[in-house]
Structure 1
Amino acid sequence: MYLLLQLLVIVLAFISLEHVAIIAHAQPYTSIVAPINKHTDVAKPLYSVKITTTLAPANFLIDIDAPFIWYNCIVQWNRYLTDCPSNTVCTTPVSYVAYQCEDVRTYTYSYKNPSCSGVLDWGFTCPIHVVEPVTSSCDQVILNYDHFTLYTSDGRMVGVNPNAACATPSLFTSFPANVSGVMAFSSSPYTLPAYFSQQTLALCIPSKSSTRGVLFFGNGPYYLLPQSKVDIRSYLSYTPLLKHQNSFGYFISVNSIVIKNRSINVPTNTTTKLSTIDPYTTLRTDIYNGVVRRFSMVTKRLHPAKPVAPFGLCFSTSTIGLKVPNIDFILPDGKKWTVSTANSIKKITKKVACLAFVDGGATSEPAIVIGAFQFEDNFLEFNLQNSTLGFSSSLLRKKTSCANLNFTPTNNP
């Protein structure tokens, strides 16, 4: 029986590699696209991408730091011989002796957090650690052979067989409704772009839950209405992506933060991380205090309001509209990522709005984490081949937004 199981794993691995090879040599296609949704039904705003699994389309949290894909499914050695339970995705597990198991476990070890300890022996399968991104709790999942399908921008379907992992439903209790997995978009070799052999990932996150943003794999071009003939790449500035020890996430260098011609000091070698899970930009206390002090000075005309957690600086919106100065992240070579009002001020109630920057504490590491609220209606292009980040600043200033992709019937996932 044991030899039979090993033979089955080898055959399935061969089929998976063969399928990837067929895709790689298929007729060239334009960018792969997938819709992005914003969720506000949980403790903090989160964003998901819709991708078709073996059963049906499913929503996965967008995580640009996660090392691999995992979602709500079960593994079955004999899934081709017996029926899968209703409304359940069944996949074949990776054997503990398979090379994929050793590779993923090796990469996972660099992602340990204090709540992760040891790996249980689950028979012939490959258990690995996963850090649930919403609560940062640790659990174990089972590595599998999987299949996902997406659409290209010209309406064709493309599929790929990645190694993902199956998790139990209990791991998704803190997730938004109808979101049942984590889609990894980091620089790890076990992310979806890596399996599609795409070196470029572009994100355009919507600012409203009632609209859809868009995710692209590929080198573009990228078009948004109403400028249907303007490639969004023409709006981008570029800065180097940096590597960080024990992380597949994305990091950049921020030399200073400027508010109305006054620079807030950022210590040399300060680490700046990009995050789609942290909802707002988090600053180490020394940097945060400088930003809040300067922002308070240039907004004296605004009526203050009692701070609303987790924010430390809030304003009344009852008597005057909120139009505040830009906050500029000054990057190497003089590049400037501008955070305008739409991405710096978070409306809390009809009468209160707050500066959407959070105090991370005196010892927080990384010292700066640029959060997802600052990404909304910005276009971000992660080029892994060139190790660069392309950023547009707010598209609203270009009279467009992330909700303006024309998802026509021919390319609608």
Structure 2
Amino acid sequence: MASQHYHELLLLSTLLFVFISLSTQSHETLVFPVRKDPTTLQYITGIYQRTPLVPVKLLVDIGSGFMWVNCENHYISSSYRPAQCNSKECALAESFTCNTCNDSPRPNCNNNTCGLFPENSIINLSTTGDVIDDVVLFRSIHGNFATVPHFLFSCGSNNLMEGLASGVQGVAGFGRTKIGIPTQLSSVFNIHPQFALCLSSSPSSNGFIFVGNGGNYKLAPGIDVSSSLMRTPLIINPVSTGGVSFEGETSPEYFIGVSSIKIDGKAMKINTTLLEIDDEGVGGTKISTVTPFTIMERSIYKAVTRAFIKAAEAKKMKSVASVKPFKTCFSSESIKSTRVGPDVPIIDLVLGSEDVYWRVFGANSMVEVKEKEVVCLGLVDGGLSPRTSIVIGGLQLENNFLEFDLGVMLYPPTSLPEFLNRMRWRLTWHFLISF
């Protein structure tokens, strides 16, 4: 069964992220600007890499266990270094393969080099790729750059570029592994092992990922978010959800324990066993930055949409024909606007306790189809027997502030009092919704 030990998540509800000031003490906080691609709805960030340095655009995937870059498309660098099989770098990457290449040596073509399986989660395709290290520059919140001379990542290939936004050359993986971006940066810069995510809903403005701050986030004018947080465990799926995996490998993705769903405060009847992760790694709820809209197993989806339509009728919302990929749509003229988006029924994902919930207002539940003067419920039918019962997607994440603290994962407590103390302040995930 899935493990809940040493993981916790904190939540705060507000809407439309305005400004965050970060208070750091002795070490740097790194920042990844994130832009939403209007065509693919993917979230894109960038780094500087190689010698000489070049800018590289990457897809943000918090569920991917490592960074990978296309090494077939003019990867030229005098500082790259392949990870030799049985080396400490290969052990850190938890690689179980040793690659050979009969062509002239170059990135992704070296003998006696350990390998991983970079994946494009957009098209669900994995390939083999060498583990290498190279110079990478990351932005600091203070405007300067922090250099990592030997950042570990994997090489991708041209066939993994399909479906990615224009100009994207790989994936920025923030997953729960030893060579995930947060963990590597934590080790290199001796900063707190955590990252915080705030995705913008507008393609014209940046969202951000912060790596390393110790939870000292304040909203202007000086509102400290840490005083308004709820907590729920983060859950480890015991079975890898990647395209290629090995026996005993756990998933690098982030799961949470949804126990029930409410529409306007009323709980729905659903098969709660679907909300649990079984011994085969099937079921549960995960958070995804590569899924544009939340996907639900069919019976859960039907229960939610039925309850939503019933609550919408009470608000005199007028149903209209569906607009793919959505099935539940309404006339824009029949819906009022509020500071938290369209005035529609509120969806609550209850997280274990009735007092802890992820509240989804209209801004994060509805999709506007302007040319048809229609708004649709931004949920997608995931069909029968999907691998994961609920996948919380980008629309529901946007303009929310989420913090994933990996400290307890990396440094398990040695006593019950220490564990309880860390449960109070560590493994956190806050979400902010607007002002």
TM-score band, normalised by shorter chain? 0.7 to 0.9
Counterpart residue number, 1:392: 431
> Is this contact kept in 1: 2:99–2:112, CA < 8 A?
no
Distance 1:243 1:361, change over 3 A: same
Deviations 1:336-385 (A, max 9, x none): 11100000001123412210111111212211111111000000000112
Separation (CA, whole Å) in 1 of partners of 2:184 and 2:217: 22
In structure 1, the residue matched to 2:323 is 308
Over 3 Å counting, the alpha-carbon distance change for 1:103 and 1:196 in structure 2 is closer
Partner of 1:50: 46
8 Å CA contact retained: 1:239, 1:331: yes
User: Residue in 2 aligned with 1:29?
Assistant: 27
- Give the aligned length: 346
1:382 partnered with 2:421: no
Q: 1:258 to 1:320 in 2, by over 3 A?
A: closer
1:211 equivalent in alignment to 2:205 = yes
Q: Deviations over 1:277-333 (max 9, x none)?
A: 111111111111110010000112122221122212111214544420210111123
CA distance, structure 2, for counterparts of residue 65 and residue 319 of structure 1 = 38
Structure 1 residue 335 and structure 2 residue 356: aligned? Answer: yes
Q: What secondary structure, in the 3-state scheme, does the structure 2 residue paired with 1:337 have?
A: strand
Matches of 1:353 and 1:67 in 2, distance apart? Answer: 35
Distance 1:170 1:261 in 2: 47
Taking the aligned partners of 1:48 and 1:230, their CA distance within structure 2 comes to: 29
- Output aligned runs, 1:104-119, within 5 Å: 104=93, 106=95
Q: 1:263 corresponds to which residue?
A: 267
Distance 1:264 1:168, change over 3 A: same
Instruction: State which of 277, 280, 301 in structure 1 corresponds to 2:293.
Output: 280
Question: 2:195·2:209 contact (CA, 8 Å) conserved in 1?
Answer: yes
Is this contact kept in 1: 2:57–2:168, CA < 8 A?
Answer: yes
For the residue of structure 2 that corresponds to 1:154, the secondary structure is coil
Tell me the secondary structure at the aligned position of residue 231 of structure 2: strand
Whether the 8 Å CA contact 1:129–1:140 is kept in 2: the answer is yes
Tell me, which stretches of 5 or more residues in structure 2 are unaligned?
1-24, 102-110, 187-191, 241-250, 277-283, 337-341, 410-426
Deviation digits for residues 42-98 of structure 1, max 9, x if unmatched? 3xx1112222223233221111111111012369xxxxxxxxx6x845622222343
Q: Percent of pairs identical after alignment? A: 30
* Amino acid corresponding to residue 392 of structure 1 in structure 2: F
Q: What's the C-alpha RMSD, in Å, of the aligned pairs?
A: 2.4
Contact 2:295 2:381 in 1 (8 A): yes
Q: State which of 190, 209, 216 in structure 2 corresponds to 1:221.
A: 216
Check whether the contact 2:93–2:178 (CA below 8 A) recurs between aligned residues: no
Shift of the alpha carbon at 1:120? 6.0
The answer for unaligned runs of 5 or more in structure 1 is 1-26, 76-84, 110-117, 400-413
**How far is 1:29 from its partner?**
2.1
Contact 1:36/1:205 (<8 A) preserved: yes
> Distance between the aligned counterparts of 1:373 and 1:180, measured in 2?
24
SS in 1 for 2:305: helix
CA contact (8 A) 2:332 2:374 kept: yes
Distance 1:286 1:61 in 2: 31
Aligned position for 2:223: 230
The range that moved more, 97-106 or 156-165, is 97-106
Would you say 1:359 and 2:354 are equivalent positions?
no
1:151-300 matches, cutoff 5 A: 151-160=139-148, 161-197=150-186, 198-218=192-212, 219-224=214-219, 227-245=220-238, 246=240, 247-266=251-270, 267-268=272-273, 269-270=275-276, 271-300=284-313
Query: Who is 1:402 aligned against?
Result: none
SS of 1:164's equivalent in the other structure is strand
Q: Offset of 1:169 from its aligned partner?
A: 3.4
Any idea what the Cα deviations from partners look like across 1:190-249, whole Å, max 9, x if unmatched? 11111122321100000011000111112142245xx14223444432211111112011
